[in-house]
Amino acid sequence: MGAVVRMVLVLVAIGGLAGGWAQPVAAPRPVAQPEVDWTGLKVTFLPIGQGEATLLQWSSGETALIDTGMAEVRARLFASLEEAGVRRLNWLILSSDMPEVAGNAQAVLDAYPVEALVFPALTRQVVLPKRIPAGVRLVGLTAGQRLHLGDGTALTALHPRQMLSLSPQNNALVFRLTHGDTRFLFTGSIHAEAEKAILEAETDLAAAVLKVSDCGSAQGSHPDFLAAVDPEVAVVFSRGEGEDFGREDVLERLSDSWAEIYQPSRHGAVAVITDGTQYQVVLGRLRAGQQDSAPEKEKHGR
C-alpha cells in the first residue's frame, strides 16, 4: 500500500483508551474490550447474512443507511439497527433495485422516520419504493454530483453518467464517501462494464476502504479496477450460504492487492471509525460494552 504504515494494535481489556485511540502493547493477540470512544464517523457493515446494508453514524448524532439487504433478513436488519440505537435516519441511500440491496427499502421507510432518500437518478422509476411517506426528500444523483451528509462528510457520485445497456447491476449508484482524509468507495452491484466506464472517467479512485461490489461476484472487482482503488480494507458481503458463486476468485484478487479482507457473514459487524485523520477497524457487536473479542487496527486515512 505504498508508503502507508500499518500497525496492529490491541486495547487493554479494562483500561480502554485514555485518549480515544489505541496505543500499542506487547502482545498482539485478541482481547475482550469495550467499545472505542470515538468522534467523527463510524461506518458499520452490518452482519445481516444475505445482501448488503451499511450504517453510518456520526458523533454529532446524524445517521444514514446505505442499502437494506434481502427481504428474507428483515428481522436481522431491524435487530441490527435497534442494537445500534437507531431511531431515525437522516439519509436512506439505495444503490439500485437489486433484491440484495433494496429488499427492505419499503419496510425501512415504513418503520423509521427518514429525512431524505438518495438513489441513482437514471433508474428512478425502478429504484424508488412504491410508497414514499410524506415529507421524505427525494435526491436523485448522477456522476459528478455531491452531497454533504453528516458532520464533515461528503458523498460524491461517480456512476452512472449514462445508462449502460439494461443491466441493473451496471447502472447502480457508485459513490465516494470522504470524511477528512479518509475515503470509502461504495460500488453498489456493478460489474466489469461499469468498472471500465468509471476507470475511463475518473483519474483518482484511491480509497482506504472498499465495499466490494455485488456481494463479491466474480463479474466485478476486475484487477485493473482494484489496482486503481488500491484499498487497505475490503469488505465483502454475502448473498447467503451456497449463493456466493465466484466469490473465491474475488477473494484471491483482493488478497493479491494486499487488502485486509473482512466479511460480515464471518466476522460479525465490521466497523470503521475515523476522525478524518486516522481510522480503526473494530470487529464485534454494535453497542458499547458488547463487543466481541477482536484486535483493532489503526491507520492513517487516505
CATH number of 111's domain = 3.60.15.10
C-alpha cell at 92: 436512506
Predicted TM-score (pTM) of the model is 0.83
Is residue 106, in this structure, part of any structural domain at all? Answer: yes
Q: In what order do the strands lie in the sheet with 7-9?
A: 7-9, 296-300, 278-284, 269-274, 41-45, 54-58, 63-66, 89-93, 114-120, 137-141
Tens digit of each residue's pLDDT (9 = 90 or more) over 156-187: 999 999 888 778 888 999 999 999 999 999 99
Is residue 1, in this structure, part of any structural domain at all? Answer: no
Is residue 88, in this structure, part of any structural domain at all? Answer: yes
Is residue 140, in this structure, part of any structural domain at all? Answer: yes
Digit-by-digit pLDDT tens for the chain (302 residues) are 443 333 333 232 323 333 333 332 222 222 223 456 788 999 999 999 999 999 999 999 999 999 999 999 999 999 999 999 999 999 999 999 999 999 999 999 999 999 999 999 999 999 999 999 999 999 999 999 999 998 899 999 999 998 887 788 889 999 999 999 999 999 988 888 999 999 999 999 999 999 998 767 766 678 899 999 999 999 999 877 665 555 788 888 888 888 899 999 889 999 999 999 999 999 986 764 333 433 344 565 55
Is residue 27, in this structure, part of any structural domain at all? Answer: no
Is residue 294, in this structure, part of any structural domain at all? Answer: yes
Report the number of distinct structural domains present in the chain: 1
Which of 52, 113, 55, 114 is CA-nearest to residue 84?
55
Range of the domain at 81: 7-12+34-300
Is residue 97, in this structure, part of any structural domain at all? Answer: yes
Longest dimension (CA), the chain: 56
Is residue 23, in this structure, part of any structural domain at all? Answer: no
Answer whether 186's CB lies under 8 Å from 163's CB. Answer: no
